[in-house]
Structure 1
Amino acid sequence: MKPASAQDREAWQPPTLTTTRYDEDWSKLADPSERTGRWTEPFKYVPLGQDAYLTTGVEIRLRNEKYRANLWGDADAPDDGYLWMRAMPHADLHVGRLRGFVQPIIAYAAGVAPSAGPIDQTRFDLLQGFADLRLGDADTGAATGTGLTLRAGRQMLSLGSERLVGTRYGPNVPLAFDGFRGLVSVGGAIVSLIAVRPIQPGVGTFDDRRSRTKSLWGAYVTIPSLDFYYLGYGNNDARFGGRRGRERRHSVGARTFGTAADWHWNVEGVAQFGRFAGGRIGAWTLGTEVGRRFPSAPLSPDAVMRVNVVSGDRHAGDDRLGTFNAMFPKGKYFGELSPVGPYNIVSANPRVAMTVGSGVSASVAGMAYWRYSRGDGVYDVPGNLIRAPGASRARFIGKEIEATLAWQATPELELSTSLSAFTAGRFIRETGSGRTIGMLGLESNFRF
C-alpha cells in the first residue's frame, strides 16, 4: 500500500485564535507542505534549531463605550463616554519539552469619568509570563495519550464557559493569576489543577501585584461533552451587603455541552458552601442554554434561549449567606453591555444570530431580569452591590434589548458595534433613580 500523498491527507486547519493565546499550536508549520503562503505564517513558526521554535503574535484593540444614564442615573458619571486602547504582543518559545510564554500589555484609557480605574488602564505591565515543562508522550489537551504539563508563573485562566473563572477579556485590562497549574491528559480526559492568586492591576507602569487577600485553588476535569470541578476560594476582606469579613467558599459544579444535528446546548449547575464572617454559606446557580441552527434558511439563523437562576441572600444579618459568588466571571456575562451581573438574579435571554454574508454577522437579543431573593440587592459583573434592597418587595429589575453587528474585514481585523437599552423595572424605580440606560460599543480588533 503506498503512503498517502499530501493531497490525500486531511488538510491541517490553523488553530483558532484564543483570548489566552498560549493554547494555539502552530508546530505543524514546520512542514513546508502545510504552509499556504499567508503573510502571518513566518511569525507563527520561527525555527531556532533542532527541536526549538518561536511563535509570535499581537492584539491591537481600540474600543469606545458610551453610556447614557449609567446605572439608571445613579452613577458618578451618568452620561459617560471613553476610549480604551490596548496592545498585547506575545512570544511563545518551545525548546524540546520546555516552554516560556511572555505577553506584556500596554493599556491606556481616555475620557473615563470620574477617573480611570485598574480595569481601564495599566499603562505598561506584564500580563502573562510563565514557564512550563511537558512530560509524557502526548500534549496535554490531546484527545488521546497521556501527558503532564507543569506550569508556574503569571497566566490567564479560562475554565469551561467562564461562569466562575474567566479572562475578563471585554474590559481593557484582562485578568491574570500568579501561581501554579498542572495539566494532566489521560485518554480523553483533561485535568487542570490550580493554586493561584489573582493579579490586582494598578493604573501605573509595572505596579501590578498579586492579591494579598484573595486566593483560588481546585481541580477542573473535562471529558467529551462534560465538565465537573471543585474550586476553593478565599477572601480575607469580603463584602456582601453591609457585612464585611473573612470568606472561605467551596464550589462544586458540573457542565454538559455539545451538539446533535442542528441543536446545541450548554447547561451548568454549581453548589457553594463554606463560611463568611463567622456564618455559613449556602448558595447555588443553574445556567441553561439551548439553541437550534437553521443552516438552510435565509441568513442561516441560530436561535438560542438562555435562562439563568442565581441565588441571593434571603435574610440580611443572620448567620447564613445565600448570595452566590461568581468569583472571577467573564466580563460579557449577559451580553455585550449590561449593568447587572450574576448574583441574586433570574434572567431570561432569547437571542438570534445571523450570517449576513461577506464576513458580516448580526444578532438581536432580549433580556429580562428579576431578583431571586427580595432580601438581597442587585450587583454588577465584578460583584459590587449597585442597588441595595431597601424596603422594596418588588422582584422585577428591568428589561434590555441589544443589537450587534460585526464585520470580519480581513482574517486579522474585525470591526464590531453593539447598541443596548435597559429599561428599569419596578424594583429599580422604587429604590432610586430609574432612567433608561443607553449603551453603545464600537470596537476594532486587529490580531494574529
Structure 2
Amino acid sequence: MTARLRAAAVALLLWIGPAHAADPPPLTNTRFDEDYRYLLSPEARSGAAWERFKAIPLTSDGFASLSTGLELRLRGEAVRNSGWGQDDPRNDAYGLWRALPYADLRVGESLRLFGQLIMADAVGKLDPLAPPDADRIDLMQGFADLHAPLGDAQGTLRVGRQMLAYGSERLISIRYGANVPRSFDAVKGIVTAGSWRIDAFLGRPIQPAPELFDDGRDGRRTAWALYATRPLDLEWTDSAGLDAYYIGYRNRRAGFDAGAARELRHTVGLRAFGKAAGWDWNWEAMGQFGRFGNNSSGGGSIRAWSLATDTGYRFTTLPLQPRLGLKANIASGDDNPRDDRLETFNPLFPRAKYFGELTPVGPYNLMNLHPSLDLALSDEFSLSASAIAFWRESLDDGVYDLTGGLLRSGTGSRARYVGTQGELVLSYSSGRSFEGLISYSAFRPGPFLKDSGPAKTIHFAGMEAVFKF
C-alpha cells in the first residue's frame, strides 16, 4: 500500500470512528428521525470526526443542544427513446446534483426546531426541466415540535414545512429518488402509546420552482390522514408489524382518461410486513371512494382499489446469500369512461422510482409481476437483477405516468399487455457515510403501446454517489 493510500485509509477510519458503547442512529433519508443527544455524554463518543457536528451543547448542562448534518448527491443519467420515442427531447444525457444541509435544535424534552435547505440543479439537461429537477436554493423543511405527556402516552405537535413518509411510501412519500424530494406545509400530531404510534396530519404539498426561495404551496391539492402502526410480537417471526390508515385527498383539477374535474377521494388501507426464517413480506390492500365531477350534485362516484405484495426468501447459507423476490401488484382502472363512476386507482403522492430506477408508467390501471434476484457480492457490494411485466387492468382506461399524467388513452387499442422492463443495479455501501450505484434499465413496448403511438425501446443508465453525515 502506498503512503497516499495509507493516509486515505487512516482519514476514513478517523471519520467513521471505531466501535463504541453507544451505537449511533442509522443515517436515513428522513434526517429528522435521527437523535444524537446520546453524544452529550462524553463516554458515548468514539472520537469519530463527524461527532463534533452532533449534539453540540449550547448550555453548560446540555439542556439545549444543536446537531447539524449534510447530504451531498451526485447523479448522472442517460436516456434513449424517452416516452418510447414520443417525448421531446427523445434522447438526453445529463448530470444532477443536490445538497441538503440541516440543523436540529433541541431544548429540553419539550421543544425542537428543525430546518433543512435544498440546493439542487441539473447540468447539461435539455429543456424543459421538470419540477423535481432543480430548486437552486429553498427551504426544504422548517418545522417546530412541541412534546407533552398525555397520561401514559406521549404527544407531539409538529407545525411547518415537513417531509411526510408512511409505510412503504406507496401513497405518501418523500420522493427521495427525484432530485428534489417532496415536502408539505402541514400540521401533524403524533401520539405514542405503548406499542402503538398514531399520526394525524393536514397539509398541502409544496410545488418546487427552480429559482431562489420561490417554492410555494400547491393550491390545487390538499391531503389529510390518520395513520396507525404497531409491531406485532409473534413467536414465529423475527419481526412483524401492522399498519392501518385513512387518507383524504382533494384535487381541484384532476385529470384521467375519463376527463378532468374536481376530485375528492378517501383511501382506507391495511399493511402487514415482517421477517421470519429467511422469509420477508410486505403486503398492502387499499380501497378508495369519493366524488369526481363538477356538477351541483357533486358529480359521479369513485370506486377504486389496489393490492400490492412483495415477498422474498434469502438463502443465508449459500454463497452470495441470494434473495429471490416477487412483487405482484394490481391497481384498478376505469371500466367505462362514459358513465358517472370513476374506477381508476390514484396513488396520491407515490415514491419516485416506483418500479425501479426507470419508471415510465405509474400504478394507475395497472397489473404487474416483478421477479428479482439480489446477491451480496461482498460486505460493500450487492447486485440486483429484475424483470417486470406490465398489463392494463381495464381495457377501457389508459396508461399514466407516475404523477398521474395520461400517457396513452385507452381508446386506441384493445390490447392488454403494456410492455416488459429489465433492470440491473450494482450498489455500494461503505461505513455510515458513503453509498453509490450503477444501473441499466430497458423497457420494451408491448402491443398496447405499439397500437397507441410511438413504440421504441427505452434505454436508461444511471450512476449515483451519496455522502451523508
Given the two structures, how large is their TM-score scaled by the length of structure 1?
Answer: 0.94
What is the aligned partner in structure 1 of residue 93 from structure 2?
81
- Name the SS for the 2:377 alignment partner: strand
Distance 1:220 1:336 in 2: 28
Confirm or deny that 1:214 pairs with 2:221.
Answer: yes
Question: What letter corresponds to residue 24 of structure 2 in structure 1?
Answer: P
Confirm or deny that 1:321 pairs with 2:333.
Answer: no
Which of 102, 106, 112 is equivalent to 1:99?
A: 112
What is the aligned partner in structure 2 of residue 126 from structure 1?
139
The Cα offsets for residues 247-279 of structure 1, whole Å up to 9 and x where unpaired, read as: 100000000001112111000000000001111
The Cα offsets for residues 271-309 of structure 1, whole Å up to 9 and x where unpaired, read as: 000001111100000001111111111111121110000
Alignment size in residue pairs? 433
What is the aligned partner in structure 2 of residue 362 from structure 1?
383
- Conserved in 2, the CA contact under 8 Å of 1:63 and 1:442? yes
What is the aligned partner in structure 2 of residue 195 from structure 1?
202
- Conserved in 2, the CA contact under 8 Å of 1:409 and 1:415? no
Question: What letter corresponds to residue 375 of structure 1 in structure 2?
Answer: D
Distance 1:309 1:358 in 2: 35
Question: What letter corresponds to residue 190 of structure 2 in structure 1?
Answer: L
Distance 2:468 2:252 in 1: 38
What is the aligned partner in structure 1 of residue 17 from structure 2?
none
**Could you tell me how far 1:23 is from its partner in structure 2?**
0.5
Distance 1:206 1:384 in 2: 27
More helix by share: 2
**Could you tell me how far 1:411 is from its partner in structure 2?**
2.9
The Cα offsets for residues 16-41 of structure 1, whole Å up to 9 and x where unpaired, read as: 21212101111211222222221111
Confirm or deny that 1:54 pairs with 2:61.
Answer: no
- Name the SS for the 1:14 alignment partner: coil
Confirm or deny that 1:18 pairs with 2:28.
Answer: yes
- Conserved in 1, the CA contact under 8 Å of 2:27 and 2:432? no
Given the two structures, how large is their TM-score scaled by the length of structure 2?
Answer: 0.90
What is the aligned partner in structure 2 of residue 168 from structure 1?
175
- Conserved in 2, the CA contact under 8 Å of 1:194 and 1:219? yes
Which of 278, 285, 289 is equivalent to 1:269?
A: 285
What is the aligned partner in structure 1 of residue 3 from structure 2?
none
**Could you tell me how far 1:242 is from its partner in structure 2?**
5.4
Summarize the alignment of residues 31-42 of structure 1 with structure 2, pairs less than 5 Å apart: 31-42=41-52
**Could you tell me how far 1:113 is from its partner in structure 2?**
2.5
What is the aligned partner in structure 2 of residue 308 from structure 1?
329
What is the aligned partner in structure 1 of residue 253 from structure 2?
237
**Could you tell me how far 1:420 is from its partner in structure 2?**
0.5
Structure 1: 5+ residue stretches without partners: 1-9, 139-144
What is the aligned partner in structure 2 of residue 141 from structure 1?
none
What is the aligned partner in structure 1 of residue 14 from structure 2?
none
- Name the SS for the 2:250 alignment partner: strand
- The list of structure 1 runs, each at least 4 consecutive aligned residues, that deviate by more than 6 angstroms after superposition, is none
- Name the SS for the 1:53 alignment partner: strand
Distance 2:150 2:35 in 1: 16
Which of 6, 31, 40 is equivalent to 1:30?
A: 40
- Name the SS for the 1:246 alignment partner: strand
Question: What letter corresponds to residue 333 of structure 2 in structure 1?
Answer: G
**Could you tell me how far 1:112 is from its partner in structure 2?**
2.5
- Name the SS for the 2:402 alignment partner: coil
- Conserved in 1, the CA contact under 8 Å of 2:312 and 2:325? yes
What is the aligned partner in structure 2 of residue 393 from structure 1?
414
Confirm or deny that 1:402 pairs with 2:418.
Answer: no
- Conserved in 1, the CA contact under 8 Å of 2:148 and 2:155? yes
- Conserved in 2, the CA contact under 8 Å of 1:116 and 1:203? no
Which of 429, 444, 447 is equivalent to 2:465?
A: 444
Summarize the alignment of residues 363-378 of structure 1 with structure 2, pairs less than 5 Å apart: 363-378=384-399
Q: Does the C-alpha gap of structure 1 residues 137 and 275 become closer, same or farther in structure 2, counting only changes over 3 Å?
A: closer
- Conserved in 2, the CA contact under 8 Å of 1:117 and 1:203? no
What is the aligned partner in structure 1 of residue 235 from structure 2?
none
Which of 65, 72, 76 is equivalent to 2:77?
A: 65
Distance 2:51 2:41 in 1: 12
Confirm or deny that 1:112 pairs with 2:133.
Answer: no
Distance 1:234 1:350 in 2: 35
**Could you tell me how far 1:13 is from its partner in structure 2?**
2.5
Distance 1:407 1:213 in 2: 40
What is the aligned partner in structure 1 of residue 353 from structure 2?
332
**Could you tell me how far 1:358 is from its partner in structure 2?**
4.2
How big is the alpha-carbon RMSD for the aligned residues of Structure 1 and Structure 2?
1.4
- Name the SS for the 1:29 alignment partner: helix
- Conserved in 2, the CA contact under 8 Å of 1:178 and 1:199? yes
Distance 2:379 2:197 in 1: 37
What is the aligned partner in structure 1 of residue 366 from structure 2?
345
Distance 2:104 2:360 in 1: 36
The Cα offsets for residues 171-216 of structure 1, whole Å up to 9 and x where unpaired, read as: 1111000020000001000000000100011121111001111100
Confirm or deny that 1:255 pairs with 2:268.
Answer: no
- Name the SS for the 2:394 alignment partner: coil
Distance 2:427 2:173 in 1: 23
Structure 2: 5+ residue stretches without partners: 1-19, 232-240, 294-298
**Could you tell me how far 1:409 is from its partner in structure 2?**
4.2
Distance 1:371 1:12 in 2: 51
**Could you tell me how far 1:111 is from its partner in structure 2?**
2.5
**Could you tell me how far 1:134 is from its partner in structure 2?**
0.7
**Could you tell me how far 1:425 is from its partner in structure 2?**
0.5
Distance 1:237 1:367 in 2: 32
